[in-house]
Amino acid sequence: MTLPDLSKTPKIDKVGVHERTNRFCTRSIKTSAKQMGLHLALSMIDLTTLEGRDTPEKVKQLCYKARHLDDSIQGLPNVAAVCVYPTLVGVAKKELIGSGIKVASVATAFPSGQSTLEVKLNDTKYAVAEGADEVDMVISRGKFLQGEYNFVFDEIAAVKQACGKAHLKVILETGELETLDNVRKASDIAMHAGADFIKTSTGKISPAATMPVVFVMLNAIKDFYKETGIKIGMKPAGGISTAKKSLQYLVMLKETLGDEWMNKDLFRFGASSLANDILMQLKKQETGIYQSLDYFSKD
């Protein structure tokens, strides 16, 4: 793995990106396709709790929700993963035995990333030792914005090695990267350093995921695949709370990367509140009546 020649990174046409992403929001989706899309979106969700007040009981409740989204609706898929802090990975792992639902853990001094490499590697190794199937790391945005691209690359590569068999999702925290050109550059660095997924945000910074940002990242994935033959996953996280918005992202995914990326192995939503809105829409399709959001558990 080597740092790519960033002088060759394509410049982003901001106006063109916004015009293109606006078109994804005007697609008409038929009822049958909408139902399939909502099931697909549900299967791609990482249910997440990342608060200082998280407890084992709260994580157990979230895992129960992951396994029993709504038993009154037939044929629902499982969500993709439950994402927690490293200290609660063991709890989630035990609760999800036999479900096929992955356990993901944030690491590397999430969400700021302001720590030493030693601390970040120990954080990662601890999460994996506790049973994490996936690790969501944050890049050092300060170093990136200073132009220390080799530092960022080497740090990601070191965390990837520490992950062992666990998949690595690299969080760019795009709300702090300032420009779409920087988003593209950070995406290229992360993929060449060994990321299995690139992810927009921690959910702690606004703006989080936006369609222009995700479109730029999807195109970076497309170019990387053409160059290497390696498929990298994508995870927009934060700010995607409605079923309608999730379908717009899936339209963008299909038209940018094609059917091969239309699965939970290569695309995720980091948005726990999204699950409830999708369940409400599916219940409406089944019964013709909207349920109150209070019908569904918040965690």
Listing DSSP states for 42-92 in one string gives HHTBEEE---TT--HHHHHHHHHHHH-S-TTSTTPPPPSEEEE-GGGHHHH
**For residue 200, how many other CB atoms are within 10 A of its CB?**
29
* Spatial CA neighbour of 173 closest among 126, 235, 248, 86: 235
Mark whether 235 is an active-site residue.
Answer: yes
The residue type found at 201 is S
Mark whether 223 is an active-site residue.
Answer: no
**The two structure tokens encoding residue 154:** 């080497």
From the list 93, 235, 245, 283, the catalytic residue is: 235
Q: 267 and 235 in contact (C-beta within 8 Å)?
A: yes
From the list 65, 102, 120, 199, the catalytic residue is: 199
Long-range contacts at 283-286 (CB < 8 A, ≥ 24 apart): 283/70, 283/72, 283/73, 285/31, 285/34, 285/35, 286/73
From the list 70, 133, 136, 196, the catalytic residue is: 136
Mark whether 294 is an active-site residue.
Answer: no
* Spatial CA neighbour of 128 closest among 160, 166, 154: 166
Active site residues: 136, 199, 235
